[in-house]
Amino acid sequence: MTVALYCRVSTDEQAEHGFSIDNQKERLIAFCKSQGWDQYRLYIDDGYTGTNMDRPALQRLIKHIKEKKIDTVIVYKLDRLSRKQRDVLYLLEDVFDKNNVVFKSATEPFDTSTPLGKAMLGILAVFAQLERDTIIERLSTGQKLRVKSGKFSGGRIPFGYVYNSQTGKFEVSPHEAFLVREVYKKYLQGYSLSDLSDWIESQTSARYWDHARIRDMLTRETYTGVMPYGTLRSTEIAPPIIERELWEQVQQEMVRRREGFTPKGEYLLSGLLRCAECGSSFIHVIRKKGPYVYYLYGCRSQHQRPKKVPRRAPKQACTVGYRNREELESWVIEQVKRIARLDAEEFEHQIANIETNSDETEDTLRDLRKNLSDIEHKLNRWYEAFEEGTIDATQLRDRIKHLEEERRRLQTNIEELQDTLVKDTQPQRVFNAAKLIEEAWDYMTFDEKKNVLRAAISYIEIPRKGQPPVIHWNV
């Protein structure tokens, strides 16, 4: 009989109260030996909450149960499995029972091999969720009282402030506050999120920066002096760093960019360009060297790669390079105008020879899926080493972090490429758009130019320098 020993801890506080991983492992192994069970496997989620099932070791346990590799599951306490009654019942009925797996607790008097044990389990699950809900309610009430009294309720200190533990309020850090104001101003001047993360990283080493953290900074209302907490809003906790008007202008600019409008500099091909190497989309990039400013298009995977990569991690970032904005836009416009110079019959003849689903895309998809399979194989090997006790939880986290990031990137690239394989057949629409570009391009507004290009073009594949881009028409 193969026994699965599942351990979980979510906070240091739990570890201090006897729920540490080592404590759970010791008790569960001792329980197995007392029952005469020698074949057991450890499944450990170190640092994961019990309020959901998004836990790697739990998901592997479920997978192994469905593969008939496990006969019995043992936990230290029921709440180590889950703190939500719904999740407990799902695991009990749809996973354990369905696969004839017995569930036991090493410290509670039940097991699911008996009807009484199943009934007791349901009752304990109700109380586990009640305990969780009570803790959340008490914590939320305490935090609301602190906010109402004008004190910080806890959490990460926003960049630009320091926390005064005597008053429970924020104080402005002058240099960091200057950088915050500059980020807001530069965003309105047309800088991208990646440009801003590069800039602020050159100004301070206080924190790690990437485009996501810059986005968080630009949307944080606290910088206006208003600290939101749920439906509560306090003006007594944080002094303002920027004017309310500046913050609102930035929010409006972010909405414009999400809706397809480009920042200052008006990048005509935003959203149309895709990397031929990795399948990622292209973004607009501003490079500055001395007095010179260069406006470029660059692969998102290459430009927004993590700046802190583990020492032994392979270099996975794309290296397709950058393209000059003006040159690329001029080339695309000329290709569309060339189509417009054909007569309708010749255009129909040429369009009929275009393959809707390109062989190159299929080849790229195959390569990406193979890379994804390799990554998942490596992750499984690390998890198995952890279960066997070869490495500890800290080593595991350090070694799988970059693999998890690479897996997410590959999954995103595969989804984006799959979307390109299905297109509408509208050759007349392409021809009409091309004719419009030929005849009225110089008289169009910027937004009209963007719209008419998107009517003709599905996407543009950008290979390495020295090779021409490939336009995929909306046909």
Q: HEC string of the chain?
A: CCEEEEEEECCHHHHHHHHCHHHHHHHHHHHHHHHCCCCEEEEEEECCCCCCCCCHHHHHHHHHHHCCCCCEEEECCHHHHCCCHHHHHHHHHHHHHHHCCEEEECCCCCECCCHHHHHHHHHHHHHHHHHHHHHHHHHHHHHHHHHHCCCCCCCCCCCCEEEECCCCEEEECHHHHHHHHHHHHHHHCCCCHHHHHHHHHHHCCCCCCCHHHHHHHHHCHHHHCCEEECCEEECCCCCCCCCHHHHHHHHHHHHHHHCCCCCCCCCCCCCCEEECCCCCEEEEEEEEECCEEEEEEEEHHHHCCCCCCCCCCCCCCCCCCEEEHHHHHHHHHHHHHHHHCCCHHHHHHHHCCCCCCCHHHHHHHHHHHHHHHHHHHHHHHHHHHHHCCCCCHHHHHHHHHHHHHHHHHHHHHHHHHHHCCCCCCCHHHHHHHHHHHHHHHHHCCHHHHHHHHHHHEEEEEECCCCCCCEEEECC
End-to-end CA distance of the chain: 59
Burial readout 394-429 (b: 16 or more C-beta within 10 A, e: otherwise): eebeebbebbebbbebbeebbebbeebeebeeebee
Active site residues: 10
Cβ atoms of 199 and 188 within 8 Å: the answer is: no
Residue type, 229: Y
Q: Rounded CA gap, 38 and 53, in Å?
A: 28
